[in-house]
Amino acid sequence: MNNSLKEIADRIKKSDSILLTAHILPDGDSIGSVLGLGLALKSLSKKVLMVMEDPVPHLYHFLAGSSKIILPDSIKEIPELVIFLDCTDYSRAGSKWYDNFITDNVVINIDHHISNQHFASLNYVDDSAAATAQIICRLLKEMNAPCSQEIATALYTGIVMDTGSFKYQNTTPDTLREAAWLLEQGIDLSFIREKLYENKSLESLRVLALALSNLQVSSDKKIAWTSLSKQALEELQVKPEHCDGVVNYPISIMGVEVGLLFREMDNGAVKVGLRCRTGRDVNKIAGFFGGGGHKLAAGCQLDGPLEKVINQVLEATRQTLGGS
């Protein structure tokens, strides 16, 4: 069941101490949403904890308040209210560190993924929204909360990253209206562009070079994929954040309908990123393996070894494409 945004806003207003969290391996939308809402609530004199199981990637350190996002083992007190942002279910926030905080507390779930499980006490899920940050814009208006330049920068970053700079099909008139509203708050577009797109690390370029060297295409040219083994990543001495964006390269090939990235993790599991063209649905493929996301962009995680996972997901993809 979906609650109204007013119900969500009213419940937040009643709480003095609030914990905000988002999914593991945080991206621009999850970080932007946590910071945008967190800074706004602090300006309303709320006591706010911003918690993520994984550290904020260096790419997003330019966002105000990013250094205030703490790891779960730094939590010293139990909040009145817990808000999950950009999470399809509890498990997306990590390895159950949150169990101590969701038993006796009201839990709010705000998300834009079609695969969301409506797992909380109060749920606001809008799969027509391009990003969770877009929903946070609406929430701030509903609460009559201030939107400073710092808050607007965080939320704009979330929207930009989840829309591919407004290139993806999820960009709607409402998305652009919220982006325009954030521009009206005085954000510096040149500053954001430089930090997000003109500040690549050498490590990320080396990962991209490796991924492109491993690129493969099916015989019918409809599926393209690449893989990053644990050993290769260790040899490059890179972190998971350096793999961001690589999944977009296989789907960029002319004629390819589904693009895949297989990344072997430290624990031997394999993280799979899926992208597809309009008219296809990789959420169904990810869902078959217990993952999810959106029609055009989804993900899942399977137990290794790497080659076994590649073969499993390729077979499911071929079946989805009609035996191609």
CATH number, domain with residue 264: 3.10.310.30
Query: Alpha-carbon distance 3 to 119, whole Å?
Result: 12
Sheet with 269-276, side-by-side order of all strands: 216-217, 223-228, 258-264, 269-276, 297-303, 292-293
Same-domain pairing of 125 and 151: yes
**What letter would DSSP give residue 109?**
E
Q: pLDDT digit string (tens) for 138-183? A: 999 999 999 999 999 999 999 999 999 999 889 999 999 999 999 9
Let me know: does 95 contact 82? Beta carbons within 8 Å: no
Q: pLDDT digit string (tens) for 18-59? A: 999 999 989 999 999 999 999 999 999 999 999 999 999 999
Same-domain pairing of 257 and 301: yes
The three-point CA angle 255-261-264 to 5° equals 160
Task: List phi, psi (to 5°) of 271.
Answer: -90, 130
Same-domain pairing of 92 and 188: yes
Query: Alpha-carbon distance 268 to 164, whole Å?
Result: 30
Domain holding 31, by residue range, is: 5-197
Among 163, 180, 197, residue at a domain's last position: 197
Count each helix (H run) and each strand (E run) in the chain, helices first: 11, 11
**What letter would DSSP give residue 231?**
H
> What pTM value is reported for the model?
0.88
